[in-house]
Chain A
Amino acid sequence: MSVSDTGLEFSFNRVAAMVRRYWYLLRSSWPRILDLIYWPAVQMLMWGFLQVYISQNAGFFARAGGVFIGSVLLWDILFRGQLGFSISFLEEMYARNLGNIMMSPLRPAEFLLALMIMSIVRLAIGMIPVSFLAIAFFGFNLWALGLALAAFFANLILTSWAVGVFIAGLLLRNGLGAESMAWTIMFLFLPLTCVYYPVAVLPEWLQYFSWALPPTYVFEGMRALVIDHVFRADLMAQAFVLNIVMFAAASLAFMKLLQSARAQGSLLQTGE
């Protein structure tokens, strides 16, 4: 059997076709574009003003200026990254186009790469304006984090893709009955990855779960940078290793769920 028989042959042309398909959709609909900016802006403003209020009344928070805004912006990279991936996938189900896609020569890996690219495009549309709003309102410059920001971003987007890949598999296997998972699964990460507080706040037994999740290292790393002005490369390296494991596990789960979807005949009937 040749490589192409197994579906391992890869075509960037087909990836580009899918990215074009999502881009056409996005630019044809202003509510979709507005939605990308609206909620991250609301979140950032709410946490920013809360931080301003607390810092006026507590010495620690005055010293740790920007920690909440930094947290909320990084959280949005994680959350919006996964959502951008999953929503693009869901668009195929809403449009009843999944059968056309699965019947075309598009390989699963090409489909997933197109979804990853779209998650970055959607994230950029939402987060870049909001990051400038953070400078304008609170003087918090996310871009000033420089290389650290690149490390934070890389780790968070990898986690968001791993979760997105797993959710896509669930949607293929279970249809729109699994849709709510796409919207809510990331909220499990909110308390466990310690977005707004240090891991030490958690009960000891829960800390083990927390350290098993790559974003925990990023949020701890962000606090180390903003509060103690130290870049923890060791935390980023550990997060990266965990992300590789998580992404590989999610990809394997996706392929198994796709296999199961073919066995169950759920690729043509993707309703509830």
Chain B
Amino acid sequence: MRTNCLRIAGLALPEAERHIFFGMDAQTTSAIAIDQLVKRYKGVAAVDGISFRLARGSITGLLGGNGAGKTTTIAMIMGLVTPTAGTVTVLGADMPRERYRVLHRMNFESPYVDVPMRLTVRQNLSVFAQLYAVKDIDGRIGSLAAELDLTDFLDRPTGKLSAGQKTRVSLAKALLNKPEVLLLDEPTASLDPDTADWVRSRLERYRAAQGATVLLASHNMGEVERLCERVIIMKKGRIEDDDTPAHLLARYGRETLEDVFLDVARGRRQSEAAQ
């Protein structure tokens, strides 16, 4: 791993997170703590010994090419996949063993799942609201619909909506329980630039209002640059770099995160890239 971050017990920490290790228990103060996490499928490592911690209220981008291990990492954080080795702690709960302690405080959006298409938007949201024990379900659906511009579609079957509208429904589902930890896997994939920008602004607003911790896996470098205060770059199941966008740009001598990503993906060293 090539990084200028502080190393403590094998963990690379960006400057913003270093205080966590001094005088506090990192596993309880971090929203998400991942330690030496490994996932192997039939002997092949999808995730290969990664460690990082996300401070509460932070927004972090998880970058990497196809097969880098981003989705598997997120799935382990959600408790959907059991690690082969290492630990995942979310809001102080060991995942997946203690997942029911914290699942009601988390939510996610992923291109691998849909909300049922035959149900109306209102039916879908009310079912999920009940699953998450949301108080004042009608009020919450009403405010989310207004916030995400869904009011006119609430009684329409979800399957009849456009791709952008469906994404907003998925986002509404992900925000229903006002999650403290929000995991987003390609939240703006397949959206036109205008709708994608609109979704990003809503995510920024939500994070600012709720102080939620957001982990965002994306291939869209502009999105990560705009939203994230920290970027973790994965390649072949390992963390290749972990820093703030500004530090990454400076160290690689690049003007965009996309160029940094390409340097990492193509195995160019920071020194070579800077030249």
Contacts and interface: CB of A to CB of B under 8 A. Distances in A.
A56 interface: no
Interface string A1-16: 1101111010101101
Given A4-B101, A105-B104, A268-B113, A262 B80 contact: yes
A256 interface: no
A105 B103 contact: yes
Contact of A100 (B75, B101, B113): B113
Interface in B113-146: 113-120, 123, 126-128, 130-133
B81 interface: yes
Interface stretch (A17-25, A44-52, A71-79, A210-218): A17-25
Contacts of A100: 113, 115, 128, 173
A13 B98 contact: no
A98 interface: yes
Contact of A265 (B41, B103, B116, B131): B41
Contacts of A7: 99-100
A36 to B, nearest CB: 16
Contacts of B60: none
A268 B103 CA distance: 16
Contact of B132 (A20, A105, A267): A105
A17 B130 contact: yes
Contact of A24 (B101, B106, B108, B119): B119
Interface residues of A, number: 40
Given A4-B101, A13-B133, A103 B116 contact: no
A96 B114 contact: yes
B115 A265 contact: no
Contact of A104 (B41, B96, B132, B157): B132
Interface in B56-110: 71-72, 75, 78-82, 93, 96-101, 103-104, 106-108, 110
B214 to A, nearest CB: 16
Contacts of B75: 265, 267-268
A57 interface: no
B112 interface: yes
A264 B41 contact: yes
5 contacts: A4-B101, A20-B126, A99-B110, A268-B71, A268-B75
